[in-house]
Structure 1
Amino acid sequence: MTESDEDLVALPSLLSAYAGREASRHRLIWRLDQRFARLVATTTEPMIGQMRLAWWNDALTDESGVKGRGEPVIDALRELNVAPPAGLSQWLDGWEALIGETDLSAYAMGRGAGLFRALAGRDDIPGWLEQAAMVWALWDLSGHVEEVAVVDRAIAMARSHLLSGSVKWTKSWRPLRLAYQLAHHDIKRGRRAPPGLTPTLYMRLIRLACLGR
């Protein structure tokens, strides 16, 4: 890897640490997600943003390994033989849903489920995990937007997707479980996500990791 973990924001870095042998792959997936986030945040013209997302798709799916060469995240993914990551098309569609007129439902299903597929390393994830992914994505978005109306809509939508009953989280999905449970705690109380890793959020993560629930 040519970029240090300092390039990864705190919460994804901590979640990746719970992925065991898959920690390096998880960090790379999160770093890729951050690249998409920055791309969308710096887009002022929808068409340009769509073209930039299309470039990432073309580069990551290029079987020749030529497109995107020299881009640190792409090079690192290729080194681990995880390019393209699972769920890539859906993941990109989700980020595109924030360009121009925001489509929260498309964003949640796209970015959330696409990202969780990439982290799980497989396309065939159960419906309840997609639902959990949507909750997390909407919670995360609520901590990064200024428009109160968007925050309220995101929280309300996330609440409607909270899991009911018990589900079986496999050991390899531990980081995904922790991400969902952090989101669940706030969404259930009608609270938006903090803008970063606060001491309270950090202690909640440690407690969840230690208790396993």
Structure 2
Amino acid sequence: MVTYQTGPERALALSYAPEAARASLAALFALDDTLGQILRTTREPMVGQMRLTWWHSALSALDSAPPPAQPVLQALADNVVRNGVSGARLAAMIDGWEALLEAEAIDTTALQLHAAARGRGLFVAAQALVGGAPRDPVEAAGEGWALADLARNVRDPESARRIATAASGAIAAATAVRWSRAGRALGALAQLARMDLAVPLDTPIAHGAPRRVARLALHRVTGR
């Protein structure tokens, strides 16, 4: 139903974070990638649920025990939990993925839960690590980013259009203000989502195109 992939544009956006927070952000988004990969490679919902349950337990355990020999969990323990974002808070993001796994169709309820638990949860945790200002619209950015990403990775065209429409309002709010310097990595991700939404869903995105990279560079300088 859903596939996920990452690329150099996101790496560029995350490089705008304060240097001390970059490893933390990389670990957070590696977790998001890992959870998305579960959906991409799961054919049976029950198997996917078992895998997500394992991750929920493993993330929650980071608050009270050393991580197992798993690279993502070790990176989270060293760079995220150690810096004040609890494993329980990370585990709560799994609810957003379970909403897609459990739903027979991606309805409004599933979309709202995915946007809140995955997107908002991820970006709010990231803000706790990078700093930033209270005015930075991290919640809208996270929700819109998650939905814009989902719209590009759902195979059913009608569902993709509906999800993209749901993403557009949040992304408009997230890109309408000037982001603080510390928060600009997250603002850049919102700008990427805005550019993605401007491309018809049946048209490939020109990732790394000069105009897209230039737009990110402008955001890094101006916060807009």
Q: 1:23 to 1:196 in 2, by over 3 A?
A: farther
Residues 1:77 and 1:65: Cα distance change in structure 2 (over 3 Å): same
Q: Is the 8 A contact 2:49 2:98 kept in 1?
A: yes
**Could you tell me which amino acid in structure 2 is paired with residue 25 of structure 1?**
S
Distance 1:148 1:71 in 2: 36
In structure 2, what is the Cα distance between the partners aligned to 1:146 and 1:209? 33
Q: Does 1:179 align with 2:181?
A: no
Alignment of 1:2-21 (within 5 A): 9-20=7-18, 21=20
Q: Once the 2 structures are TM-superposed, how far is the Cα of residue 166 of structure 1 from its aligned partner?
A: 5.5
Residues 178 and 121 from structure 1, CA distance in 2 versus in 1: closer, same or farther, beyond 3 angstroms?
Answer: same
**How far 1:78 moved relative to its partner?**
1.5
Residue 65 (structure 2) aligns with: 65
Identity of aligned residues (%): 31
Cα deviation for residue 11 of structure 1 reads 2.8
Of 209, 213, 217 in structure 2, the residue corresponding to residue 202 of structure 1 is 213
Q: CA RMSD in A?
A: 3.0
> Aligned partners of 1:166 and 1:196: how far apart in 2?
24
Partner of 1:106: 113
2:162 to 153, 162, 171: 153
Q: Higher relative CO (CA 8 A, sep ≥ 6), structure 1 or 2?
A: 2
Give the Å deviation of 1:186. 4.2
User: 1:48, CA displacement in angstroms?
Assistant: 2.0
Structure 1 gap ranges (5+): 1-6
Superposition deviation, residue 8 in structure 1: 6.5
Q: Work out whether residues 60 and 90 of structure 2, in 8 Å CA contact, stay in contact via their aligned partners in 1.
A: no
| Residue in structure 1 matching 2:95, options 73, 76, 93 | 93
Partners of 1:178 and 1:208 within 8 A in 2? yes
Where does residue 33 of structure 2 map in the other structure? 34
Work out the CA distance in 2 between the residues paired with 1:177 and 1:77.
22
Deviation sequence 1:142-183 (CA, Å, 0-9, x none): 222222112101111112333189646333211111111222
Between the aligned partners of 2:174 and 2:70, the Cα distance in structure 1 is: 42
Structure-2 change in CA distance of 1:94 and 1:64 (3 Å): same
Pairwise CA distance, 1:84: 3.6
3-state SS of 2:191 partner: helix
Between the aligned partners of 2:136 and 2:215, the Cα distance in structure 1 is 26
Distance 1:198 1:42, change over 3 A: same
Q: Does structure 2 conserve the Cα–Cα contact (< 8 Å) formed by 1:36 and 1:95? A: yes
- CA displacement, residues 168-207 of structure 1 (integer Å, 9 cap, x when unaligned): 63332111111112223443x4744956733243333223
Distance 1:159 1:211, change over 3 A: same
Output the TM-score relative to the length of structure 1. 0.80
Greater CA deviation, 71-80 or 160-169? 160-169
Q: Distance in 2 between matches of 1:17 and 1:165?
A: 19
Structure-2 change in CA distance of 1:40 and 1:195 (3 Å): farther
1:117 aligns to what?
124
CA contact (8 A) 2:120 2:142 kept: yes
Q: Does the aligned pair in 2 maintain the 1:53–1:96 contact within 8 Å?
A: yes
Q: Which stretch of structure 1 is more off in the superposition, 174-183 or 198-207?
A: 198-207
Deviation, structure 1 residue 96: 1.3
C-alpha spacing 1:89/1:74, structure 2 compared with 1 (3 Å): closer
